[in-house]
Homo-oligomer: A and B are copies of this chain.
Amino acid sequence: MTETHAPHVPETLYKSLTDSVRRLVDFTIRSQCDATIIESVRAKVDAAADELGRALIPGAFGVQQKINGSSLAWGNAVIGLRNALAPPLDIHHDDDGTVWAETTLGAAYEGPGGQVHGGVCALLLDHVLGATAHKPGRPAVTGTLTIRYEKGTALGPIRITAHIDRVEGVKTFAVGHIATPEGMTVRAEGVFIHPRRPTS
């Protein structure tokens, strides 16, 4: 009964499928084809989804703990390897505590014409600021997040950077920003909370 349990599928194959779906999402927004083609493509997409849906996890992907203590979040809206909504961000942790990610945002992330949706900026900043506070086995949750929009963020390449400003008890105060090749566009401050450990 291989269809009721997740069989071994190479990670690269999931990545490849998700990249293909991401391209389809982009073309769905940008296609200028006529109604005959749109209808033909819709039928093909339905057939592909029917095949893929023959065996499904009952709910969302969840966060699976791996043996080495790290976690597998392939469904995550920002970093998920199998989530075509995610850019996805590849989060880097430098030795000095800086956390950063680079990506290129296309048509699917648009708000004002030609610009990244302000809420998408908030989405990405929440994740990267939060990553400064997360430790293996010690998840942190967002307490508050404040976003200051200094100018519009053009669609295209961006870099998101964050670092810890200070730690007070269970609270980690992180700051960060988004920059395009033309400079910094959005700043953020976040307070992330490590739930107190159970009494040991």
Q: Which of chain B's residues have a CB closer than 8 A to the CB of A109?
A: 77, 85
Among B31, B106, B126, the residue within 8 A (CB) of A118 is: B126
* Interface residue? A48 (CB, 8 A): yes
**Is A97 interfacial (CB-CB < 8 Å)?**
no
Q: Which of A112-146 contact B (CB under 8 A)?
A: 112-114, 117-120, 122-127, 130, 139, 141-146
- Tell me if A120 and B3 are in contact (CB < 8 A): no
| Chain B nearest Cβ from A55, distance in angstroms | 4
- A193 smallest CB distance to B (angstroms): 9
Q: Is the CB of A110 within 8 A of B60?
A: yes
On whether the beta carbons of B122 and A119 are closer than 8 Å, the reply is yes
Interface size of A by CB at 8 A reads 94
Contact of A52 among B10, B24, B54, B106 (CB under 8 A): B24
Q: Chain B contacts of A9 at CB under 8 A?
A: 34-35, 38
Say how far A135's CB is from chain B's closest CB, in angstroms.
15
* Interface contact B61-A107, CB-CB below 8 Å: yes
**23 A-B pairs in the complex with CB atoms less than 8 angstroms apart:** A2-B34, A3-B33, A5-B32, A7-B34, A9-B34, A21-B21, A23-B53, A25-B84, A27-B49, A27-B53, A30-B53, A31-B52, A31-B57, A37-B51, A37-B52, A44-B47, A48-B48, A75-B110, A84-B84, A85-B108, A119-B127, A122-B126, A122-B147
Give me the interface of A with B, judged by CB distance under 8 Å: 2-10, 13-14, 16-18, 20-21, 23-25, 27-35, 37-42, 44-49, 51-57, 59-63, 74-78, 80, 82-85, 106-114, 117-120, 122-127, 130, 139, 141-149, 152, 155
